[in-house]
Amino acid sequence: EPEVTQTPSHQVTQMGQEVILRCVPISNHLYFYWYRQILGQKVEFLVSFYNNEISEKSEIFDDQFSVERPDGSNFTLKIRSTKLEDSAMYFCASKGPEQFFGPGTRLTVL
């Protein structure tokens, strides 16, 4: 069964460093998403991506964040200069008729 995959499963970084979180969506899906979940809180929408451009983004998705689909299979989330409050689980999702989530990347900013 096709699935969304994410790498790495856990990323530890120092405050101020750049991180790139990677996702491989389901191959025939056209819509891609990033969500984040701070520990103990609800899942929050960050950004949606369609036809090689951002289609919608939330207030959380500020200039420190960027997304791209560099090679037609990977879908990446870059955080330019990480802050302590960026520590969270980051979920990638892709949508055909349904939205399927990847297993998440746990980002820890020290």
Partner 1 sequence: AQTVTQSQPEMSVQEAETVTLSCTYDTSESDYYLFWYKQPPSRQMILVIRQEAYKQQNATENRFSVNFQKAAKSFSLKISDSQLGDAAMYFCAYRNYGGSQGNLIFGKGTKLSVKP
Q: Which residues bind partner 1 (CB under 8 A)?
A: 31, 33, 35, 37, 41-45, 48, 50, 55-56, 58, 89, 91, 93, 95, 98-101, 103-104, 106
How many Å is the maximal CA-CA distance in the chain?
A: 38
Least distance CB 14 / partner 1 (angstroms): 23
Helix, strand counts (H, E) of the chain: 0, 11
Least distance between partner 1 and beta carbon 98 (Å)? 6
Residues 19, 13: contact at Cβ < 8 Å? yes
| Nearest to partner 1 of 18, 31 (CB atom) | 31
Calpha distance 92→48 (Å, rounded): 10
Residue with Cβ nearer partner 1 (63 or 98): 98
| Nearer to partner 1 (CB atom), residue 68 or residue 103 | 103
Nearer to partner 1, 12 or 15 (CB): 12
Least CB distance from residue 99 to partner 1, whole Å?
6
Q: In the bound complex, what is the minimum distance in angstroms from residue 63's beta carbon to partner 1?
A: 20
Cα(86)–Cα(108) distance, integer angstroms: 8
Both tokens of residue 34?
């990033």
CB of 43 closer than 8 Å to CB of 50? no
